Amino acid sequence: MEKGCIFCDIVNGRTSTEILYQNDMLVVFRDIHPHAPVHLLIVPRKHVRSANDITEADRAILSEMFMVAKDMAHAQAVARSGYKLLFNVERGGGQVIFHLHLHLMGGWKR
């Protein structure tokens, strides 16, 4: 739990954000400014600043993030049509919230 971190607040239930899925390792909710018809954020409960800061101890969390991403793609009916999974890393990579998260974006009409 990092003071002043909005994603720590969300994963700890301190906001009114609708949680689509959660387990002991992570939480999934919709991006507040979606860049796709389906735009979810898969967010570990543990505060890790960015992909630069992951450690050996985080292997299970990272694995779980991808497994849940795949399941959420099915649940949101974008698995077959396709989707993007994205980590923005640090400011130059477009990261604005410095709590690790995986973007799941899909649902475009093509």
Cα(39)–Cα(30) distance, rounded to whole angstroms?
Answer: 6
Q: Is 101 a catalytic residue?
A: yes
30 or 46: CB nearest ligand 5GP:
30
Compute the Cα dihedral for 66, 28, 93, 77 and give only its sign.
Answer: positive
Binding residues (CB under 5 A) for Zn ion: these are: 2, 5, 7-8, 47, 99
Q: Which of 35, 39, 99, 101 is catalytic?
A: 101
From residue 67, how far is each of 7, 61, 64, 71 by CA, in Å? 20, 10, 5, 6
| Smallest gap from residue 18 Cβ to ligand 5GP (A) | 9
| Smallest gap from residue 32 Cβ to ligand 5GP (A) | 4
Burial label, 62 (beta-carbon count in 10 A; 0-12, 13-18, 19+): middle
| Smallest gap from residue 3 Cβ to ligand 5GP (A) | 16
Among ligand 5GP, Zn ion, none, what does residue 8 contact (CB within 5–8 Å per kind)?
Answer: Zn ion
Q: Which residues contact 65 (CB under 8 A, 6 or more apart)?
A: 26, 42, 44, 102
Binding residues (CB under 6 A) for ligand 5GP: these are: 6, 17, 29-33, 41, 88, 94-97
Query: Catalytic residue numbers?
Result: 101
